[in-house]
Structure 1
Amino acid sequence: MIPVSVNEQLRQYGERHYGGHVLALVDGIHYQQHTGQQLTPETDRTVSLFAGTNDMALAHAGPWLVDPNTARDFLADLRELEQVRPGVIWLTTSESLERQAAKLRAHLNTRIPNGRSALLRFWDPRVLHALNAVCHGRSERELFRAADAWHYLNEGHRFTINDNGIYRRTMGASERL
């Protein structure tokens, strides 16, 4: 099941916007280690963010989007994974699975000070939390505008981030439906 606080955020979002829903941003290697199964692309259910990129060979281990509305059989695994590994971020969005994936793909790589490109592991809740703490300027917050809200666990606490950098601790890791 989708965490209670994420469902409540979605309900509030739905009152302001039409068509909002939740997608799960999942670390493929953590999913595989937790379940013993690799995520695979399935139309309207799962999509790799590495699809169509130079990193396609690493798709099994990289970031995936899962639509819990069409992939209900994944929900129990995702809920368990979120509790034991930094491998799940819930996104509130009005975009379809494919459109959301395209928006996130644009942020997979970033330029580092020496001018080289580096993979930005924003699908790891620890990295996302740290990025939110240091990204303040409008251009620095572009990633956070790729979804309406980002919900995740960090050090046993649930946080929500939007593009303005507003985050709040909601409920602890013991939150249950």
Structure 2
Amino acid sequence: MTVLRVDSSVRHEGSVSRALTAELTRGKQVVHRDLATMRGLADAWQDAVSGGSKALSTELADEVFAADELVVGAPVYDFGIPVALKAWLGLLIVDPRLNPSGGLGTALAGKPVALAVVSGWTYEPDGPLAGWNHAVPYLRRIFADVFGADVTLHVREGTVQKAASPHVPV
């Protein structure tokens, strides 16, 4: 069983989201995709949607299809997902196998996807930041509704005790 582990934290040392994706893939055969080290993802997406080369889109989609399971690390930056993760998802959506014109929700039907969402802040329902974590609903919508995957959510919040701003990488 092959697991595609996708990390997007800009931090390598001390990253809670990377630690969580490592924990979720321990003991499994892993193919690792580190989006934080890939340069030009946004440019590749722009090129692909503008009718240019879709080579990277195809390569990334092939990786997703080849895996039996996905584990996606998503630190919450500025109340949403990192730019690299957004560009990766955009490149997947460009591939017609993942976003067929006939409808949504079938390309990865039943494929297990574990979302490892980590935030330095907490977003409890009665707290001052309730409803501000836009990463979770966005990722659920893409993986469950657009791709049709079987999504499991793993959330760790409050990983930074005294952050001066929500811009602390996790």
TM range (shorter): 0.3 to 0.5
| Higher RCO by CA contacts (8 Å cutoff, separation 6 or greater) | 2
Select the structure that is richer in strand: 1
TM-score by length of 1: 0.35
TM-score by length of 2: 0.36
